[in-house]
Amino acid sequence: MTRHADPNLYDFWPYEHRPKIVWPGGKKLAFWIAPNIEYYEFDPPANPSRKPWPRGNPDVVAFSQRDYGNRIGHLRLMELLDKYGLRGSVSLNIALIDHHPEIIEDCVKRNWEFFSHGIYNTRYSYGMSEDAERSMLHDCIMSVEKMTGQRIRGYLAPALTHTERTIDLIAENDFWYTCDLFQDDQPQPLKTTSGKLVSLPYSLEINDVITYGALAQSPARYTDVLKRHFDQLLEEGEQSGTVMCIPLHAYLVAQPHRIAAFEDALQHITSHADDVWFATGAEIAQYFRETYWDQSIQDIRTRGVPRAGTGFANLSGHP
Amino acid sequence: MMPDTYEHRRYGNDHDRYGWDYSARRAPLRIGGEVKAGAFIVVPLEFFPLNPSGKPFLHPGAMVTPYPDLRHYTTRDYGLRVGVYRILKELESRGLKATFAVNALLLDYCAPLIDRIRAAGHEIAAHGLSTDHIHHAGLSLDEERHLISETCARFDAHGLRPTTWMSPARTQSFNTPDLVREAGFTACLDWEMDQVPIAMKTNHGALDCLPLLNELNDVNLLTGKRQTESEWVAQILAAARLLLDEHARRGAQLFGFTLTPYVVGQPFRIHALRELLDALVRQEQLLLTSASDLLDAFKQPAE
């Protein structure tokens, strides 16, 4: 298989001087919160590309810390978001519906949105056949619909693992947005073979898996990063509407020594309600698709660097 | 067993690229104008391919997870699409010029960015072909010459004739200085052995080396070493103040630091760049500019 240097999923588009986006109600920044509600298998099958538990199966501390998130952490987060009148957009490992339906019921009660984060966070897309990936997506759509009546519209690949077909397949299955790409602070149309798929800003930089997990930051530092990130994007949203997402993992952010730091940031953010659209992923994606899709494509053609082809296809002439 | 031999054991360096010139024994450098010290800004614009060969090593910031690592590819690309525009705004609102060190493979990909940098009067330096085209001693002379001529051809096609060279990953072979000088480059940002420009010997004439400080590299400090933004700012300011303080004894000295778009250009970090630039601009006897402008200033003799 030829491995491509450039995925060609979107075209270069300078951040400066883009046509103005105004969010509903004249808001400058679309803000959404994405709690990851995940199931990591206790004894996952081996994958040739990646070891599910780096220390080997079973990893009791790592497993049980994540289970703490499911038993206690999500509830703590739900109560906190209730306090500020915020809804979550759940990045859901679909198997959790079977394992812990009580959590799903609590999300449904709150009118939260669900999007797919694969079946388990310990199953990877690497090396998946097209049929297997299709049937996994179908399982995700049907399982959530059966449990909640909701048709999922967003995707974040399980453990951020992909095939070259992933983005085309979700577009083909009428997903509206993907959280898998990190190239921008505004939504952008993606170059898929069919459908109308938006790259919606999620975040790794302010994701608790990075700030608390990979970087071992203190709670005070986490709060500071969130506030500064918000302040900058709100200021820029005056020129053209920006998007800020706070991805969460209850097993990290809802630890007893950390939840107050998150609340501190939420207080700051919700104090700017005049300028901020508190939305879900699908609401932002839908509004962008209906209002700014054509304008964005036109501007990319005019001021960006449009290139032929779609993702991982027709790449001749690229580096 | 044969005893070890030490064929280069002698007074001075064990290579001939530049002479041993002990700072205690040389006259302080006096340059024209009010300038007592200089700092140059380097903004690397890098292409991180989704399919790196990793030869002879994976460039810092290269792909991490199995193919296709869309996560790291797009995170690096964020710098080119968004982060660099924040840096440009902060530089230009203070009237500052910087050196943008560009991987030649990016010139077509983000042509509007290159045009905009050029129109604003910043320096554009050649930064090789890409992060996956590292110059190293495992390349033959012809292979490396080809990398450089390919780089130059791509700049030529955009009407650009950069005079400053920075190697990908600031890594060289034993031949790199000769080959980049042969290709017409007159300044190089790979070597950092002094606090004044050093004219390196090559078989095609002199190549001026300006010290870009690896110990102030923003990728290392802010991501690798996990320092805070305020720690990063404090260190660059400390360097500038020390050189100003030393002026009476040691004369004019300079250093460079990087502003990497995918790191410094993050929304939560850009405030630190504002604080840094404001504090540097307040140092009236510090010349803060691009590498080539600073080199020119350091070549102006005192009146």
In 3D space, the residue among A71, A113, A123, A66 whose CA is nearest the CA of residue A92 turns out to be: A113
Domain assignment present for residue B136? The answer is yes
Domain assignment present for residue A317? The answer is no
Domain assignment present for residue A309? The answer is no
Domain assignment present for residue B176? The answer is yes
Domain assignment present for residue B15? The answer is no
pLDDT digits (tens, 9 = 90+) for A203-248: 999 999 999 999 999 999 999 999 999 999 999 999 999 999 999 9
Task: Over range B237-245, report the average pLDDT.
Answer: 98
Query: Please, how many CA atoms are within 13 Å of residue B84, restricted to the half-sphere of its CB?
Result: 26
Domain assignment present for residue B223? The answer is yes
pLDDT band at A313 (very low <50, low <70, confident <90, very high): confident
Give the closest of B80, B112, B267 to A233, CB-based.
B267
ipTM: 0.97
Interface probe for A, chosen from B109, B114, B266, B268 (most Cβ of A below 10 Å), is B268
Q: For CA atoms A176, A182, A186, A188, give the dihedral sign.
A: negative
Which residue type is seen at B290? S
Do A15 and B87 contact (CB within 8 A), yes or no? no
Do B298 and B38 contact (CB within 8 A), yes or no? yes
CATH classification at residue A192: 3.20.20.370
B209, two tokens: 């080396």
Q: Cα angle at A152 between A147 and A154, to 5 degrees?
A: 145
Host domain of residue B208: 40-299
**Total number of domains in chain A:** 1
**Total number of domains in chain B:** 1
Specify the 3-state DSSP secondary structure of A181.
coil
pLDDT digits (tens, 9 = 90+) for B167-189: 999 999 999 999 999 999 999 99
Separation in Å, CA of B75 to nearest CA in chain A:
5
Q: Cα angle at A232 between A229 and A236, to 5 degrees?
A: 135
pLDDT digits (tens, 9 = 90+) for A3-61: 999 999 999 999 999 999 999 999 999 999 999 999 999 999 999 999 999 999 999 99
Domain assignment present for residue B138? The answer is yes
pLDDT in the model for residue A130: 97
Chain A, residues 190-209, CB within 8 A of chain B, namely: 204-206
CATH classification at residue B119: 3.20.20.370
Domain assignment present for residue B9? The answer is no
In 3D space, the residue among B62, B70, B63, B76 whose CA is nearest the CA of residue A166 turns out to be: B70
Contacts of B269 in chain A (CB under 8 A): 228
The contacts of residue A169 (CB under 8 Å, 6+ apart) are A130, A133, A134, A137
Task: Over range B196-213, report the average pLDDT.
Answer: 98
pLDDT in the model for residue A221: 97
Q: Which residues of chain B are at the A interface, by a Cβ-Cβ cutoff of 8 Å?
A: 47, 49-51, 65-68, 70-71, 73-75, 77-78, 80-82, 85-86, 88-89, 105, 108-113, 116, 130, 226, 228, 266-271
Mean pLDDT of chain A: 96
Domain assignment present for residue B246? The answer is yes
pLDDT band at B301 (very low <50, low <70, confident <90, very high): confident
Task: Over range B223-232, report the average pLDDT.
Answer: 95
Q: Is B68 close to A226, i.e. CB distance below 8 A?
A: no
pLDDT in the model for residue A3: 92
Task: Over range A153-168, report the average pLDDT.
Answer: 97
In 3D space, the residue among A32, A14, A12, A15 whose CA is nearest the CA of residue A287 turns out to be: A32
- Nearest residue of A to residue B111 by CA position? A305
Do B290 and B122 contact (CB within 8 A), yes or no? yes
Contacts of A204 in chain B (CB under 8 A): 71, 75
In 3D space, the residue among B130, B264, B59, B143 whose CA is nearest the CA of residue A6 turns out to be: B130
Contacts of A221 in chain B (CB under 8 A): 228
Host domain of residue A201: 24-303
Domain assignment present for residue A253? The answer is yes
More confident residue, B33 or A252: A252
pLDDT in the model for residue B98: 99
Interface probe for A, chosen from B74, B85, B131 (most Cβ of A below 10 Å), is B74
Q: Is A225 close to B268, i.e. CB distance below 8 A?
A: yes
Chain A, residues 258-287, CB within 8 A of chain B, namely: none
Contacts of A12 in chain B (CB under 8 A): 80-81, 109-110, 112-113
Task: Over range B272-297, report the average pLDDT.
Answer: 98
Mean pLDDT of chain B: 97
Domain assignment present for residue B26? The answer is no
Pairing mode, if any, of strands B253-258 and A276-278? unpaired
